[in-house]
Structure 1
């Protein structure tokens, strides 16, 4: 009898979306021949449609879990918008985040999916994903993942734009941290503080502002023009740097001041938007 390798089982799983044990059984019954294994699965009602490489997962949700001393965020993707509203899809997205938060050794989607589920005893996260595929006939993928040690808060936005935010802080005020996470989702800052902005971009903006100021009134001394430019640069900082932005719930104070008044210091944030292949914000320096 032909030996069934783990690679062969994984390849069949990728094509059929079925659990590993089902794939291994099919290969065993077919003496390791993949095409015969697929035929065996179809004849036995195990799979109705093969995965196609052109099936894209452009929709999804961001599962978030925080518990005071750690947090995690997982992007869980599917093929259509209606599926993102299913209770089982939402539950699995959140379960993925919780399991990741509780297991610091996990570094890949495969390792995460191999873990036991918190919501269905005796099943792995991968089993639940495969079960949804077999019933709903959509491809599901785990996308980006992040885990943070330390005090965190998060917010998942699931209306016109689907996104998730994880904020790392020093201090203990869950409501305030959630407010900051909601602010990030609404305002989409690029970096944490103005010190994190690429100096080349700052110089480019400074040159543009200086030219504009001189066009307004070329008779003004250069030192006055320079002061005007530095003042206007603050508006630029407020567009891209979280700590410099006016807080959405109280625009008279910055996000940094709001956090300080509520006993927290914002250390980092991560903002993902479903459909954006790269994170919408990079982790910044402490501020």
Structure 2
């Protein structure tokens, strides 16, 4: 029997997009001959994924999973919205989220290498198998994890099509020794706020320095010509207004516009029976930041009808 190395398996996987275990089997079946292994996979219908890997995947689902004091949000993309309604795809996203929360995983590459329950191989293999079965390109785009030593992870999914699956997913970390039922209610409300208000950071210290500098430059240019000491005060005042717009703790709370989110959290201490600290949040909106290709559906149908597609 040929000596099948990890490098050979990796090479075949990159060439075909097939799952790791399928690649290993193909190499064993063909005595380590890469080209023969490619043909073996093609005959088995397992190399379809490679043909679809260059297609833009901007649809799909965001999945949220919470276990105890840990929570994750993941985004798995597909090419079309139709796939989001596919039960197999939904099960894939939900299982990936469960694997991520079980392992506390917040790195995409590491998550892809985690064992996929109920199947032979890793999460990456499960995705490749789904591509081959469903017939669309799919990608595990990102994952975020939050945890607290004591407290709750609030969660909310907007436009949910199933439990924990939808178009926008949010998790919020609240640390407190207080009543967990009250905390969970607060966590869900804040998660709903995050989904609606889309803050950039928890507080001013969490904002990207480049973003802050850009905002300062805008304020300076808008007020060019004013004396330096006046301009400094304008920039300082403008930044305070900006923080109220983009930082979670300073945003007006959507459930009570008379207070900020930070004030609502502080006031919750009385209801839960202990101080409450808002430690962080993660918000994923499906496809944000992905450049989508505009398709001319009518032209595609016409081309297909004339035998050109």
TM-score by length of 2: 0.71
C-alpha distance in structure 2 between counterparts of 1:18 and 1:202, whole Å: 46
Counterpart of 1:170 in structure 2 is 175
RMSD: 3.5
C-alpha distance in structure 2 between counterparts of 1:104 and 1:93, whole Å: 16
Comparing 47-56 and 264-273, the one that deviates more:
47-56
Counterpart of 1:51 in 2: which secondary structure? Answer: helix
Selected match of 1:254 from 245, 249, 260: 260
Counterpart of 2:22 in 1: which secondary structure? Answer: helix
C-alpha distance in structure 2 between counterparts of 1:66 and 1:9, whole Å: 35
Question: How far has the Cα of 1:253 moved from its partner?
Answer: 1.4
C-alpha distance in structure 2 between counterparts of 1:247 and 1:84, whole Å: 32
Counterpart of 1:28 in 2: which secondary structure? Answer: helix
Aligned pairs for 1:120-139 (under 5 A) are 120=118, 125-126=123-124, 128-139=126-137
Aligned pairs for 1:5-84 (under 5 A) are 5-43=5-43, 45-47=44-46, 49-52=48-51, 53-84=53-84
8 A contact 1:61–1:158 mirrored in 2? no
Unpaired runs of 5+ residues, structure 1, are 279-287
Question: How far has the Cα of 1:5 moved from its partner?
Answer: 1.4
Comparing 191-200 and 174-183, the one that deviates more:
191-200
State the aligned residue count.
266
Aligned pairs for 1:100-249 (under 5 A) are 100-104=100-104, 107-109=107-109, 111-117=111-117, 120=118, 125-126=123-124, 128-150=126-148, 151-158=152-159, 162-171=167-176, 172=180, 173-197=183-207, 198=209, 200=213, 203-204=216-217, 207=220, 233-249=239-255
Counterpart of 1:167 in 2: which secondary structure? Answer: strand
Question: How far has the Cα of 1:130 moved from its partner?
Answer: 3.7
Question: How far has the Cα of 1:90 moved from its partner?
Answer: 2.4
C-alpha distance in structure 2 between counterparts of 1:95 and 1:110, whole Å: 15
Question: How far has the Cα of 1:267 moved from its partner?
Answer: 1.7
